[in-house]
């Protein structure tokens, strides 16, 4: 079983500024015992069977259709939008996507690591929930919907990262 961990994002994460502004941020990660590029991770993540369900829902509910080809263009940095998201920031090893309403963001990052002195990769996936309101005294209001579905969000985030891991593993083994 693939072990998905939850923890703090690296200091250089593109989500850091959102967290400093009071947004809810989370970070899930998994280690792979081989090298993976950001392009490979983006392509795998947005073309898993699980994520295709989300894409289908977005196509119907908010009329934001997407294709595997669109995911590949995003991965190759040849487009600035995909389904309901647009690129807010991108570096050599991470990407931050903002939803079309500006309420949520998705973040992917790859980090070169070593496992038992062998080159490896840590895959990160995280979300940002932008506060609905920040009061004058600094209190932050995220919204009832997030609080109601927070548990589901964690389970779903882990499942998405696990699906990407398995897709990368499958493509590596040639299956």
* CATH, residue 161: 3.30.530
DSSP 15-62: THHHHHTT-EE--EEEEESS---HHHHHHHHHTSHHHHHHHHHHHHHS
pLDDT at 22 over 90: no
Using the predicted structure, report yes or no on whether residue 140 has a pLDDT greater than 60: no
For residue 70, give the nearest of 58, 175, 159 by alpha carbon. Answer: 58
Q: What mean pLDDT is predicted for residues 143-155?
A: 68
Structural domain boundaries enclosing 141: 5-173
Prediction pTM value: 0.89
Mean pLDDT of 85-95: 97
How many domains is the chain built from? 1
């Amino acid at each position: 079983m693939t072990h998905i961990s939850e923890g703090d994002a690296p200091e250089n994460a593109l989500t850091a500024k959102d967290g400093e502004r009071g947004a809810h941020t989370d970070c899930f990660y998994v280690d792979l015992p081989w090298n993976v590029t950001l392009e490979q991770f983006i392509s795998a993540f947005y073309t898993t069977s699980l994520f295709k369900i989300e894409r289908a829902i977005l196509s119907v509910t908010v009329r934001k259709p997407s294709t595997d080809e669109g995911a590949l263009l995003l991965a190759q940095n040849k487009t600035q939008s995909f389904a309901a998201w647009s690129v807010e920031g991108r570096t050599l090893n991470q990407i931050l996507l903002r939803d079309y309403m500006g309420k949520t963001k998705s973040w992917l990052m790859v980090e070169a690591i070593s496992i038992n002195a062998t080159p490896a990769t840590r895959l990160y996936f995280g979300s940002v929930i932008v506060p609905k309101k920040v009061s004058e005294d600094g209190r932050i209001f995220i919204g009832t919907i997030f609080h109601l579905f927070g548990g589901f969000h964690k389970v779903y985030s882990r499942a998405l990262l696990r699906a990407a891991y398995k897709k990368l593993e499958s493509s590596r083994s040639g299956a």
